[in-house]
Amino acid sequence: MANTTPISDDVKAEVLRLHAEGHSRNHIARTLGISAGSVTNICRAADRSFDRSETKQATEARTVDLAAGRVRLAEKMLAASEDMLDRIDDEYLVYNFGGKDNDYNEHTLESAPVEVRRNIIVTAGITFDKLTRIVERANTGTEEAIGMLDQLAAGFKAAAAQYRADETLADDPE
């Protein structure tokens, strides 16, 4: 059950003070022992909000990192599947332990048995399917990263233009 105890005016004032110092919503909540939602509500009531741009950028960077991880995983899956397919027609060693003396017996077959060959082909098919999906997602992440970089570049360009305009006004003797 949620705590319905009203938050004191002193705590509300402390929330606003910490907000003014630039602390994050979660930091304020942990420091004061109240919920993050309460911090948000107190700040919203005072016409204040939290800058979420860093969170957005961190989330976008994490998305790019995850896309790169998926590509690395796809490369490993592909290499393992290719290795299995390359060796499907190689000689295949079968062995067992058993009997009253726990004997070891082995026999080399000309190629893998049908059930092993089927498992290799099914595994390669699953890998192909997963690889296709991973690469599609990775491409989407790359496009998002490029879009984010384009937005940053546009922001830098606008900031530089504003800086140049401000410098021109400052240099104008009139």
| Nearest-angstrom CA–CA distance, 173 and 91 | 89
Give 163 or 38, the one with higher predicted confidence: 38
How does residue 160 score in pLDDT terms, banded at 50, 70 and 90? low
Q: Is the pLDDT of residue 28 over 80?
A: yes
| Nearest-angstrom CA–CA distance, 56 and 51 | 10
In the DSSP assignment, the letter for residue 7 is P
In the structure encoding, which two tokens stand for residue 71, read together? 């590509």
Q: Tell me the per-residue pLDDT of 100-143, one tens digit each, with 9 for 90 and over.
A: 888 999 999 998 899 999 998 888 888 888 877 766 665 555 56
Q: What's the whole-model pTM score?
A: 0.45
Q: Quote the Cα angle for 83-85-91, to 5°.
A: 90
Count of all residues that appear for the chain in the document: 174
Closest alpha carbon to 35 in 15, 61, 13, 63: 15
Q: Tell me the per-residue pLDDT of 49-94, one tens digit each, with 9 for 90 and over.
A: 887 776 778 888 888 888 788 778 888 888 888 898 888 899 999 9
| Nearest-angstrom CA–CA distance, 56 and 146 | 15
